[in-house]
Amino acid sequence: MIRLAIQSKGRLNEDSLKLLADAGIHVDDAKRKFLGKAADFPLEVLYLRDDDIPGVVAEGAADIGIVGYNEVAETGAAVDVVRNLGFGRCRLSLAVPKTVDYPGLEWFRGRSIATSYPRILGKFLSENGVEAEIREIKGSVEIAPAAGIADAIFDIVSSGGTLVSNGLAEVATALRSEAVLVARKDLPADRKEILDRILFRFDAVGESRGKKYVLMNIPTERLQEAFALLPAMRSPTVMPLAIPGWSSVHSVVDDASLWETVERLKGIGAEGILVLNMDKIID
């Protein structure tokens, strides 16, 4: 049995449960429970506040955890980051009142900055040779300048909407973050084996994200041109159609380039193009 810590509620809870479910590990969305158990995998879930997850894993009360990288960096907990999970993306940035004519980081010299991330901010300032006063506050950091608590803030930003609605402008980014899978450093061998099974499944889910399965019919004489447009996993799959001179081609295409690829494929005579979602890619 391996014990996984995830956020009990908040921004990472749902995506953490979804990732587990996509990996065939079903745990109850037990928001009121502290400890749950997977029905179909040797895994227990500990539901915690995100701030507590790195420390709990480092101390071994949980073996692994899903948490924002920002919390790992802020706590400085001695855990291994074993995977980036691709959700909960955000950045930790400095922001100043939008009325400030901002000349660069030297503006912060001797000024006060409100934040819930004093450790990350302290490191960033000292790396940049800026001495400023860090004021640690637990919540509502974005109101600090208007409330006269600090000259500027250092906080999590994703869309930037919160900054704008508080009359603040983002001026420098210290850290980029996303949800990560962390593990304790001295994981016993039997649990390491379970972790490897989890990683195998997470990787298969991760691989298929942002990709589509594409199949189409194409004149056989134009196959080489189609191959040039389709960088498949090993090589595209080709099957002859019952009509002479035609083939069916199957491949995997990145979401980002899907429409461009489809247009070019049409341009070389592809017909009956099907675009399908994929659940997993197992390498």
Angle at 59 between CA 56 and CA 63, to 5 degrees: 70
Q: How far apart are CA 24 and CA 39, in angstroms?
A: 10
Size of the site for ligand PRT (CB under 6 A): 21
- Pick 15 or 207: Cβ nearer ligand PRT: 15
C-beta of residue 133 within 8 angstroms of C-beta of residue 95: no
Selected range binding ligand PRT among 36-44, 154-162, 185-193, 202-210, rule: CB under 6 A? 154-162
C-beta of residue 115 within 8 angstroms of C-beta of residue 132: no
Rule CB under 6 A: say whether 12 interacts with ligand PRT: yes
Rule CB under 6 A: say whether 49 interacts with ligand PRT: yes
**Residue 74's binding partner, choosing from ligand PRT, Zn ion, none, with beta-carbon cut-off 5 to 8 A by kind?**
none
Rule CB under 6 A: say whether 7 interacts with ligand PRT: yes
In whole angstroms, how close is the CB of 209 to Zn ion at the nearest point?
26
Q: Residues near 64 by Cβ (< 8 Å), separated by ≥ 6?
A: 2, 3, 4, 5, 57, 82, 181, 182, 183, 184, 187, 195, 198
Q: Write out the two tokens for 87.
A: 């959700």
In whole angstroms, how close is the CB of 155 to Zn ion at the nearest point?
13
Q: How far apart are CA 93 and CA 36, in angstroms?
A: 36
One of 10, 104, 240, 272 touching ligand PRT (CB under 6 A) = 10
Q: Where on the chain is the footprint of ligand PRT (CB under 6 A)?
A: 7, 10-12, 49-51, 68, 70-71, 88, 90, 155-162, 177
